Amino acid sequence: MNRLVLTSTLLALSATAMAAPKAKPTPLPPATLPAVGDALPLAGTQSWATKDWLYDVPSDSDAAGKVVVHWFCGPKQKTCADDLARIITLRETGRVYVVAHIDGSKAQAKKLDPIRESEGVGHGTLAFGAATTKLMKQLALTGPASIVVDVDGKVQLVSTGSSPADLDARDAKINDLVKSIRAYKVTVGETPANVKPGDKFNLSISIALSPWLKWSATSPSEYVLTVPPDFKCDAKSLKGDQLKPTGPSLTASVSCTAPKGSYEARGELRFGYTTGSGGDGLGTEGGKWKFEVKP
């Protein structure tokens, strides 16, 4: 009897569960234009619907260390064809990643394609189709319009004007951002001060890589110090295990002593790094110190 009751109960619960309506997913809010200073992911916010891509989806590794330009246009806008040439010129600098959003079909998108197939591989991609049309409608954009994002992922400009003056201002902003891109920051250690004969002092240089770079595993770093012959230092050069980066930072430091006198010392730090897409870079930075040792 107990088994019959238990079976009936389970069947009733199962029927209830089957009859219960599935919860509908909460619809995303309409997309809105970001403001200057807002963070904007490479593929847009969550409310930017999935699109059809003429090439691959936007690549974080390809866009790393570049100014990102989200460019919105459509075949019905006469000024889009003129602005296309400007966007291609910006892309060709090698420091701009273009995500084009074209309000039209695949065939129409190809006519306004700033990537130009193999010419721009690794320098951007292009979205088209119904989802792009919906996005541009929600953003109230027809084109040409641009959202400019700096290397830190923050919006620096939202340009919706299509006059030559508007486009000139946008291009100038992008070029200024490109000029300010730095692969790394150099800090030369302070010049020794109030040093007495026999006192230890440090001669150092530090490198801080930008977030999109990594230290090279194949190009060893080396620090070479050039000092007067009467200096006594714990080393005149550092390399290999003597130069190990801590995260994005690498510091080369040598401790010395010197007798009374006026001196000049020089240091040179050579290092290698790689980009997210596998490219290699080499850096050489130097420091110079002029100081006096006196009792």
Residues 6+ apart with CB under 8 A from 142: 72, 74, 76, 77, 103, 136
Q: What is the pLDDT of residue 20?
A: 53
Average pLDDT of the residues in 64-73: 96
Q: What is the DSSP letter of 63?
A: H
Q: What is the pLDDT of residue 253?
A: 96
Average pLDDT of the residues in 233-261: 94
* Locus of tokens 């200096």: 231
Distance CA 78, CA 87 (A): 15
Distance CA 177, CA 149 (A): 9
Asked if residue 23 has pLDDT above 80, the reply is no
Residue 25 — pLDDT band, cuts 50, 70, 90?
Answer: low
- For residues 265 and 119, the model is more confident at 265
Q: What is the pLDDT of residue 176?
A: 97
Asked if residue 277 has pLDDT above 80, the reply is no
Distance CA 81, CA 85 (A): 7
Residue 18 — pLDDT band, cuts 50, 70, 90?
Answer: low
